[in-house]
């Protein structure tokens, strides 16, 4: 990844291990009345699985950032008197919706979690061994052996999150994305005025009419060359893949709105051609910084092939209209 920004967690590597199955028991019953009571060894318990569970209250993988190992419990061994060993406890890992699990070596997709409460087994525990009771036959009355438990599985896996949001904000640093999120939703992003302030995708829930809502995600600053892996670009671009609509944000003070829009589009296209299929609109931000007559002139200098709205998060200008337009775009 080659980046040093510690706060932007959308990728964690963890060493997982599922539980070993317990061994079956090879116990032979010894009863005073019946010295040849025969085999009575119980089965071993099953080893615990490693399970990912979707949790809609989580937005990042931050909570797993310092977790290096996650182990499920081993199954108990079987015992005499046909006592079965207890199954090992599963290791359940809560993850945000949209988390995918990959083999870090081969990049092979192992599973993905999309719904709240959905459980995906990423490593199965070993089966418990059968006790010697199972091996008794007419000719073999006292089997003195039982099955060992199956071993569990272990290894490194990568969890990767692509933010699931309805609207992704696209723009250079300082386009006013964080401010807009804090105005439209209850999210309180940390805001400062230098490139790459937003190192975690900020997600905001935007309340809409009649108790409806949609999510809006600031996809941290794209810079020219991001698609070639310059800066922190690539990591961020991954987050846009799943957005339903894109809101391009370009400040009214930009030297050329058309040019800036082109650059942003080019970045997205270079990263993934499918980005071009998404619905999009442009918000010209920071309009409070211009005089009304300057704004009038600006209206002639915007791209013609995409809906454009002039807004100011600072004064609230056109923010209700923006919500309406985004809602229409999404539905």
Structural domains of the chain ordered from first start: 11-161 (2.70.210.12), 167-330 (3.40.50.300)
How do the pLDDT tens digits run along the chain, 331 residues long? 222 222 334 688 999 999 999 999 999 887 767 766 788 989 999 999 999 999 887 777 878 878 899 999 999 999 989 889 999 999 999 998 889 999 999 989 999 998 999 999 999 999 999 999 889 888 888 888 899 999 999 999 999 886 556 788 888 877 888 788 888 876 555 544 333 334 455 666 677 777 666 778 776 545 545 555 554 455 555 555 556 788 999 999 999 999 999 988 888 787 677 778 888 999 999 999 888 888 888 888 888 889 999 999 989 999 999 999 988 888 7
CA–CA separation, 191 and 179 (whole Å) = 7
Distance, in Å, from the CA atom of 113 to the CA atom of 251, rounded to the nearest integer, reads: 37
Rg of the chain in Å (alpha carbons): 29
Taking phi over 0 as left and psi of -120 to 50 as alpha, with beta for the rest, 211 belongs to: left
**pLDDT for the residue 241:** 58
Give yes or no for a contact between 177 and 171, defined as CB atoms under 8 angstroms apart: yes
pLDDT on residue 164: 54
Report the distance separating Cα 293 and Cα 71, nearest Å: 65
> Which residue in 220, 214, 205 sits closest to 175, CA to CA?
220
b/e map 8-17, b = 16+ CB within 10 Å = bbbebebebb
The single-letter DSSP state of residue 31 is: -
The pLDDT value recorded for residue 238 is: 56
User: Which residue intervals of 60-188 are DSSP H helices?
Assistant: 177-184
What pLDDT, on a 0 to 100 scale, did the predictor assign at position 163? 55
Q: Which two tokens stand for residue 89?
A: 């406890």
pLDDT for position 242:
58
- Nearest partner of 69 among 159, 160, 155, 161, judged by Cα: 155
- Roughly how many angstroms between the first and final C-alpha of the chain, as a whole number? 36
pLDDT at residue 222, rounded to an integer: 52
The strand pairing partners of 212, in sequence order, are: 208
What number of CA atoms fall less than 13 Å from residue 78's CA on the CB side?
32
């Amino acid at each position: 990844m080659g980046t040093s920004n510690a706060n932007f967690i959308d990728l964690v590597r963890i060493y997982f291990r599922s539980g070993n199955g317990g061994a079956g028991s090879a116990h032979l019953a010894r009863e005073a009345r019946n010295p040849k009571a025969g085999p009575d060894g119980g089965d071993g318990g099953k080893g615990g699985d490693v399970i990912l569970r979707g949790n809609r209250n989580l937005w990042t993988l931050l909570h797993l950032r310092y977790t290096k190992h996650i182990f499920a419990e081993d199954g108990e061994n079987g015992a005499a008197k046909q006592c079965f060993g207890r199954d090992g406890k599963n290791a359940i890992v809560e993850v945000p919706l949209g988390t995918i699990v990959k083999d870090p070596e081969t990049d092979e997709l192992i599973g993905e979690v999309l719904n709240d409460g959905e459980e995906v087994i990423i490593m199965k525990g070993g089966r418990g061994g059968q006790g010697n009771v199972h091996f008794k036959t007419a000719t073999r009355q006292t089997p003195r052996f039982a099955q060992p438990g199956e071993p569990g599985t272990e290894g490194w896996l990568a969890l990767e999150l692509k933010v699931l949001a309805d609207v992704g904000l696209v723009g250079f640093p300082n386009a006013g994305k964080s401010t807009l999120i804090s105005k439209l939703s209850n999210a309180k992003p940390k805001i400062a005025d230098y490139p790459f302030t937003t190192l975690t995708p900020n997600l905001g829930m935007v309340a809409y009419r009649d108790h409806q809502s949609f999510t809006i995600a600031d996809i941290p600053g794209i810079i020219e060359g991001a698609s070639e892996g310059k800066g922190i670009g690539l990591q961020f671009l991954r987050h846009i893949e799943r957005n339903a609509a894109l809101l391009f944000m370009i400040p009214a003070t930009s030297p050329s709105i058309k040019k800036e829009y082109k650059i942003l589009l080019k970045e997205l296209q270079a990263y993934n051609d499918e980005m071009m299929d998404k619905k999009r609109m442009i918000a010209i931000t920071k309009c409070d910084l211009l005089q009304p007559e300057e704004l009038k002139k600006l209206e002639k200098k915007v791209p013609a092939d995409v809906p454009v709205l002039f807004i100011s998060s600072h004064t609230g200008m056109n923010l209700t209209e923006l919500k309406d337009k985004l809602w229409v775009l999404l539905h």
